[in-house]
Structure 1
Amino acid sequence: MKGGDVAIALSGHSVIIKKISIPATSEEELAEVIPWEAEQYIPFDVEDVNLAYQVLKGASGGEGNMDVLLVAAKKDKINDYTSVVGQAGRNPLLVDVDVFALQNCYEMNYEADDAMGTALINLGASTTNVAILKGTTSIFWRDISVGGNHYNDAIRKELNLSFDQAETLKRGEEVDGIPVENVTPIIASVNDYIGTEIQKTIDFFKNTTPGENIEKMVIAGGSSRVPHLRESLAERFGVPVEPLNPFNRVTVRKGIAPETLEELSSSVTIAVGLAARRVGDNR
């Protein structure tokens, strides 16, 4: 890996994202107000978190108010991640949040329809990130404690296999004479479970954001390649479900085989979104 500076991203229960409405104020006053406002919205002591915020342009919290995106991350979680980076001999220059890196990757690779509601779903090993956009405007974020490990655990339990064997079968490849057909019902069951968990998040979004709808889903993450997951989600939600190609508009250096890029594409969405960041920018 060239260069010593890296960007990393956090997710899960140690990260809180809230859109808040506060009386309109200047940038200087806002910096003083945010810590006091944050105490009302985050379940941690303000002294135990790092706070970041961004005024949402074009959004209005009502007459005389302004909408602000507030992000709080536990300091110990940040320290855990940056310590690992330091031990690897790298400099953690920037810390982001998975759902924002996911959105950045999508926006740098696709044209957004300002009128369309799009759900971005990144299925990781243990956490699924959900970001819902209206055009390029973020309107909802949530992390779900479900992911690819659920497939591995179910396959291992049902067939008494190792983690590596379960991982191979999960990808739709035969292993040690065990045909893929043996895991088809197991995978279908987990597809349904993951769909149900995503459904709970989508239902919450619709209940708390009246008038907004989802017209398309775009999925990423290593587990987005699980057989028949896209079809299962499309049937459940009644909308098109597409894979996110993080290299759709990214120029890749010569010498990398197309099949290698295709294999990597589902797993590097967050990394590509992070690579688009610069210190001091707002996205």
Structure 2
Amino acid sequence: MIGVDISSATVKLIELKPVRGQQRVESYAVRPLREGTVVERRIRDMGAVADALQRAVVQAQPNTREACVAVPSSAAITKTLILPASLDDDEIEARIELESDKHIPFPFSEVSFDFQRLGVNERYRDQQDVLLVACRNRDISQLTEALIQAGLTPAAVDVETFAMERAFDELLQQMGGGGDEECVALVDIGANMNAFHVLKGGRIVYSRDTVFGGRHLTDEIASRYELTMDEAGLAKKRGGLPEDYAGNVLMPFIETLVQQVERSLQLYYTAGRKDKVRRLMLAGGCSVIPGLKERLAEKTGMEVLNANPFRRMQVNPRINAQTLANDAPAMLTACGLAMRAR
């Protein structure tokens, strides 16, 4: 399966294949997007996205064309329903359609939905828990259209939250110790936003988004050193900036990020959460900024790790393993999508 993650700054593609009980990275590619192409996880310029995705396919040369993409968590409605345990799948589907106005705040004709049985309800043994996920058709068709225009075949449309949980399960196994019930915070630092998640038992139990990301650092570089945004972006990646960069630009950016993580932790506990967060995982394209991990460890007193979902996976010899490792923190959603069963 190919996992495709379309974010505000890049298109990320990764192909995973099960080999002897393990996942193997068969191909991958990352291509940039112009600013404004994707805004708040929604495509504004379909042609630009399809072109970038097509270039990623050409670069990766995947063995399959079947791909999975995800709608933003904010665009999906997820609810756990309690229904009679005697209902089979057809009866559950009919019940959801009949009672759709209770669960879905949109006209039923405009919505696609799916469900999964979670087992017998803990409190009422004659009832079952059923996870319902619904999304507007327009959000799904926009993403599948991008895949089709790039020469890919839509095999599934997932939700970003589920993809991230799937990839995090791999990270949890890498970490060792602490048990499945350990609380771990995941900070995903993107171009425009950083998302703070707390996971327990492999499930997201708390989330908070903040509008602050790597583009703020690029803006500051461009403004201070009179560069274009493209020049500032390249300078941020490759270095070579003036000596005052670290003290006057980079460190203030890091301090702001650290303050936001501390604030998110405070709000997590203020919300009545009693499970203590023990470790912190950094993901996203800006998570590898020099000094960020060390400063977070110093301020929070926690172990801070960079996310690499591919650490235990086999890698096709034609892939540069070091380049993949460098891109790994930004590939969490794409990886979780590629791990999805059809």
The residue type equivalent to 1:100 in the other structure is F
1:27 Cα deviation from its structure 2 partner: 4.8
In the alignment, what sits opposite 1:275? 338
SS in structure 2 of the partner of residue 125 of structure 1: coil
Structure 2: give runs of 5+ residues left out of the alignment: 1-60
> Which of 130, 139, 142 is the aligned partner of 2:205?
139
- Offset of 1:277 from its aligned partner? 0.9
- How many Å separate the matches in 1 of 2:212 and 2:331? 19
Would you say 1:104 and 2:166 are equivalent positions? yes
Distance in 2 separating the partners of 1:124 and 1:131: 14
Query: Hey, what's the Cα distance between the residues in 2 that align with 1:4 and 1:66?
Result: 37
Residue of structure 1 equivalent to 2:66 = 5
Give matches, 1:121-270, under 5 Å: 121-171=187-237, 173-174=239-240, 178-179=241-242, 181-208=244-271, 210-270=273-333
- Distance (Å, rounded) in 2 between the aligned partners of 1:34 and 1:141: 27
Q: CA deviation at 1:32?
A: 4.2
Query: How many residues are matched?
Result: 274
- Distance in 1, matches of 2:260 and 2:100, equals 28
Q: What are the within-5 Å matches in structure 2 for residues 58-77 of structure 1?
A: 60=122, 62=123, 69-77=131-139
Aligned-residue CA RMSD in angstroms? 3.2
CA distance in 1, matches of 2:148, 2:267: 39
Deviation at 1:57, TM superposition (A): 5.6
CA contact (8 A) 2:186 2:198 kept: yes
Contact 2:73 2:159 in 1 (8 A): no
Paired position in structure 2 for 1:117: 183
Alpha-carbon distance in structure 1 between the residues aligned to 2:259 and 2:69:
29
Which deviates more from structure 2 when the two are superposed, residues 255-264 or residues 138-147? 138-147
- How far has the Cα of 1:59 moved from its partner? 7.7
Q: Deviations over 1:6-33 (max 9, x none)?
A: 1112326323445x46465445454345
**Matched-pair contact (CA < 8 Å) for 2:165–2:203:** no
One-letter identity of the residue aligned with 2:191: A
Contact 1:117 1:216 in 2 (8 A): yes
Q: 1:16 to 1:233 in 2, by over 3 A?
A: farther
Structure that is richer in strand per residue: 2
CA apart distance, 1:244: 1.0
Deviations along 1:129-156, whole A, 9 cap, x unmatched? Answer: 4442223344234554443222222322
Q: Which residue of 1 aligns with 2:76?
A: 15
For the structure 1 residues 120 and 73, does the alpha-carbon distance in structure 2 shift closer, same or farther, using more than 3 Å as the test? farther
User: Does the CA contact (< 8 Å) of 1:128 and 1:147 recur in 2?
Assistant: yes
Q: 1:85 aligned to 2:147?
A: yes
Change (3 A) 1:153 1:108: same
Q: What amino acid is the match of 1:13?
A: S
Matched letter for residue 82 of structure 1: T
Q: Work out whether residues 82 and 121 of structure 2, in 8 Å CA contact, stay in contact via their aligned partners in 1.
A: no
Deviation at 1:114, TM superposition (A): 1.8
CA drift of 1:224 comes to 0.8
In the TM superposition, what whole-angstrom CA distance separates every residue of 1:199-234 from its partner, at most 9, and x where no partner exists? 454444434453222111111121111222223333
Matched with 2:50 is none
Runs (5+) with no aligned partner, structure 1: none
The answer to whether the 8 Å contact 1:103/1:131 transfers is: no
**CA offsets, 1:170-195, max 9 Å, x none?**
33611xxx325425432333333334
